[in-house]
Structure 1
Amino acid sequence: MEYVKIFFVNTALLITLSYLANLIYKYTVTYASEPVKKVSWVLLAIFAGWISTFFGYRLDEHVIFDLRFVPLIISTLAYPQPLVLIIIGVLTGLTRLTFGVTEAALVGVLNLSILGFICAGLSLWVQRSAASMMYKGLITILVVNVVNVLNIAVFGVIPAQEYIMKIMPVTFPAGLVLSALFALIIRDFHLDLMRTGQIVRANELLSEQTEELHKNKIVLEERAKQLMLASQFKSEFLANMSHELRTPLNSIINLSQLIEESDESRSVEELSEYGGIIHRSGEDLLSLINDILDLSKVEAGKLDVIMEDLNVSEVPDLLLQHFSVVAKQKQLTFSVSMDEEVPAVIHTDPQRVQQILRNLLSNAFKFTMAGSVSMNICVVERQEGPASRRWIAFEVQDTGIGIPPEKHDLIFEAFEQADTNVSRKYGGTGLGLSISNDLARLLGGFITLHSREGQGSVFALHLPLDSGVSV
């Protein structure tokens, strides 16, 4: 019965150690990384085995009976990783040497090492089996206790017959019962640790979700502000658009009515003048409608570009013909120049390029009251990472009212640039730059802006010339 008493003492010590370890683990190791948790478990299991040996029953000066194999059973169920179990088995066996290097101690090292490999094999079964945890626990306890008995009988220093007849009938059932009892207690501790870990993870998840909700709230508030601004800009745009549409329509309706009601008192010159005004009003109305249609096509992704050869050398003459009358009417100097290195032909959509350039020049003339408007066609290189790329640039420069820096981005956005005061004073819908910017992107290029309020502006359309040249 002395064996049973010692086994009970071993069990009480292991339970006490497990309880203290549970407290330490719950409030410290739980928050550590996975490698730290694994190392902590291995050290704890080895220390528990050493404590069991320290308080074990000494049959004689060198032979010790204890429950040092119980931490291996618990590790097999709670931490089923083969390599970890082999390490625990071998190192727990080596702790037996701290009580003296004897034949019995070497047998103890061999016994625990064999049990470590047995538990490693059992852990694979524990991971893959669909059986209940209780069934897995009973099988593990039975196998480890049986192998422990066989190891002592085969390799032990006590004669096999004496061990089997006198010692094993008491230690084997006591080991089974106490192992099962301890396993149940540790299993409860383990479940408590798992619940604690789940609570910690749940709290972390809640914190992350709270932070994400806060970020989403900020994003939603920002979008709400943007929607309010967009609504305001669109309202102003519609008000301005209605004004722009009514002006040419009223001219067309009123003058056409005058022509219809005209008598012989009206001269041919008057009628011709009326016809000219109606024609210009119709062109203005058509231009407005084209802007709106182009914007709708771009936003719907249905605006196609037709890539053809554009004769760049013809561009200056075309633009001079188109805008020379406007320059003369406003008493502005207008010039178009082209550098010598500009290629004669580029591959792009000629119609869209001319549309962009007309928009840029129309804006330049619209917002320039005195001075000059000019356009220079040149070749530029822009650094793009480790390489540079060649572009053809159509630079439109004016001496107009200029644009404050805070509005440089806004003027390229649809509706947002439709400032009521500016639009009412200078006319137009304010969609030209937005459409031009979208068209430039469709052509593989972009538009740049350099401007300061009261000091004029420089808009430049950049179109690619080649795929890039390494530098």
Structure 2
Amino acid sequence: MGFGKIFLLNMALLITMAYLANILYKYVLVKISGKINYILSILWFIFAGWICMKFGFQLKGDVLFDLRIVPLIIAAIVYAKPVVVMIISFGIGFSRLTFGISEAAIAGTINFVILGILCAFMITWMNKRQFKQSTRGILTILVLNTVNVLDIAIFGVIPFKEYILTIMPSTLPITLLFSCIFALILLDFQLDQRRKLELLHTNELMTRQTEELRQAKLSLEERARQLTQASQYKSEFLANMSHELRTPLNSIINLAEMISESEEGQEEEPLEKDTPNYGTIIYKSGRELLQLINDILDLSKVEAGRLEVVQEEVVLAEVVQLMELQFEHDAEQKGIEFEVTMMPELPSTIQSDAQRLCQILRNLLSNAFKFTHQGRVDLMIHKDSSACSISGEWIVFSVADTGIGIPQDKHEAIFEMFRQADGSISRKYGGTGLGLPISQDLARLMGGFIQVDSREGAGSLFHLYLPLIQKENSGALSDEENEAPGGAD
């Protein structure tokens, strides 16, 4: 009857259409949105069924035998949505009517409506069971071909006996064979697409890893730069420290030796008239040496996260009196004015750590006197509720001077360990460069922060902000403390 030749022609047409669809997808459709591609693929399956009918085997007038069921089988394997497969099946079925409305055309349409409903139930069932792709393909090929034969035998215009005995033995094996062949072609195509997707994914992964490696390299280079810079700062610090330690130690040793020699020759000649001043110099050198040791100890506590504060009631008048007594002599010696002002709205006491508060003020005032050659140094204490973004009332200790000032680009550097505004300053003015970093850490630990406002040659103004109402804290400084709002560190 020629079924084999016609079915082979159908198969060739389907393979050609599949190849053309692949080419179009690679070079044209890949640039179109996924939604449009999805719709076009549905139309392609319907058109494939129509092509099979167009070149099908015509028997007894309007009766057509072809491979229109193959596109439906492939659609049932490819698509996971039952509704989509029903649309394809109904589309192929109703496209049969384009060749003329007849009893055979209506029977063909009914056949594909039944097959579409069957496909929907099968897909739903297989999705629930989570069958493998190969199992889904085998079941779909066997069930649809079997039901197709039964539909043609029951609803077709060819007599049942004639179809079962003469036509079905030829068409069913060919349909099964070509369905399997096309399914294998589809499987190979899917494997190729999967390999391409995996290769694309691998390339994207390698690109991302390359970028991550580049970022890691930049991060390591930045870290190495920071370590080199930190090493440089520490080297400068150690050089300054060796100078600072040697100066008072040499004074103590030399003067103690002179006093000792004077005592040994006391019977032969009276003590020199400058001997009484030696005690003052030794006392001052010892105080300087003690301050250096205290700074180093505080530094070690800061780095270990064990610097502690003790909350207690602090009388502001006593703090003011202590600062006045301690720095009045320095002001007289340098010939500069020193004034302490307390605003009337201040409370008489606050909750803080008196020792650490005085330590911060001493550091700020010591720097003010050290870098001021003429003019004045002022300490003013007042309240402020709008100084920063954090709500609440603050007590502010402001230390102002008319000294050498600090360049704008060095405001952050002065709060870093081992750094000063200028590395040569330690040689000229003395000091370790630890006072401000330690003061900033102490202020943060007490719930406050330090701000600086200064320009080179125009003096400096440091503000120590402390909350009037202290929050509960652990009393120990750690690396996870939040940065001070608006601070310089």
TM range (shorter): 0.7 to 0.9
Q: 1:313 deviation in Å?
A: 3.8
- The C-alpha deviation readout for 1:11-58, integer Å capped at 9, x for no partner, is 222211221222333445567777676556545444444444444445
Q: Structure 1 residues 249, 187: CA separation in 2 closer, same or farther (over 3 Å shift)?
A: same
Q: CA contact under 8 A between 1:22 and 1:189: conserved in structure 2?
A: no
SS at match of 2:262: coil
Residue 143 of structure 2 corresponds to residue 143 of structure 1 = yes
SS at match of 1:13: helix
SS at match of 1:248: helix
What are the residue-to-residue correspondences of 1:30-429 with 2, within 5 Å?
41-59=41-59, 63-78=63-78, 81=80, 83=81, 85-100=82-97, 103-104=106-107, 106-121=109-124, 123-124=126-127, 128-129=130-131, 134-153=134-153, 160-263=160-263, 264=266, 265=269, 267=271, 270-382=274-386, 388-417=391-420, 419-429=422-432
SS at match of 1:450: strand
Which residue number in structure 1 is paired with residue 450 of structure 2?
A: 447
Following the alignment from structure 1 to structure 2, what is the Cα–Cα distance between the partners of residues 253 and 159?
A: 130
Q: CA contact under 8 A between 1:237 and 1:418: conserved in structure 2?
A: no
What are structure 1's unaligned runs of at least 5 residues?
A: none
Give the letter aligned to residue 426 of structure 1. Y
Q: 1:274 deviation in Å?
A: 2.0
Q: CA contact under 8 A between 1:364 and 1:373: conserved in structure 2?
A: yes
Q: Structure 1 residues 244, 165: CA separation in 2 closer, same or farther (over 3 Å shift)?
A: same
Q: Structure 1 residues 467, 360: CA separation in 2 closer, same or farther (over 3 Å shift)?
A: closer
SS at match of 2:314: strand
Q: CA contact under 8 A between 2:111 and 2:148: conserved in structure 1?
A: no
Q: 1:225 deviation in Å?
A: 2.2
Q: 1:395 deviation in Å?
A: 1.4
Q: CA contact under 8 A between 2:96 and 2:109: conserved in structure 1?
A: no
Q: Structure 1 residues 243, 384: CA separation in 2 closer, same or farther (over 3 Å shift)?
A: closer
TM-score (norm 2): 0.84
Q: CA contact under 8 A between 2:405 and 2:460: conserved in structure 1?
A: yes
Q: CA contact under 8 A between 1:400 and 1:457: conserved in structure 2?
A: yes
Which residue number in structure 1 is paired with residue 19 of structure 2?
A: 19
Q: Structure 1 residues 258, 11: CA separation in 2 closer, same or farther (over 3 Å shift)?
A: same
Q: Structure 1 residues 256, 187: CA separation in 2 closer, same or farther (over 3 Å shift)?
A: same
- The C-alpha deviation readout for 1:326-369, integer Å capped at 9, x for no partner, is 11111111112222333333323222222112111111111111
Following the alignment from structure 2 to structure 1, what is the Cα–Cα distance between the partners of residues 32 and 308?
A: 59
Q: 1:152 deviation in Å?
A: 4.2
Give the letter aligned to residue 89 of structure 1. M
Q: 1:408 deviation in Å?
A: 1.0
SS at match of 1:190: helix
TM-score (norm 1): 0.87
RMSD: 3.0
Paired positions, count = 461
SS at match of 2:346: coil
Q: CA contact under 8 A between 1:63 and 1:104: conserved in structure 2?
A: no
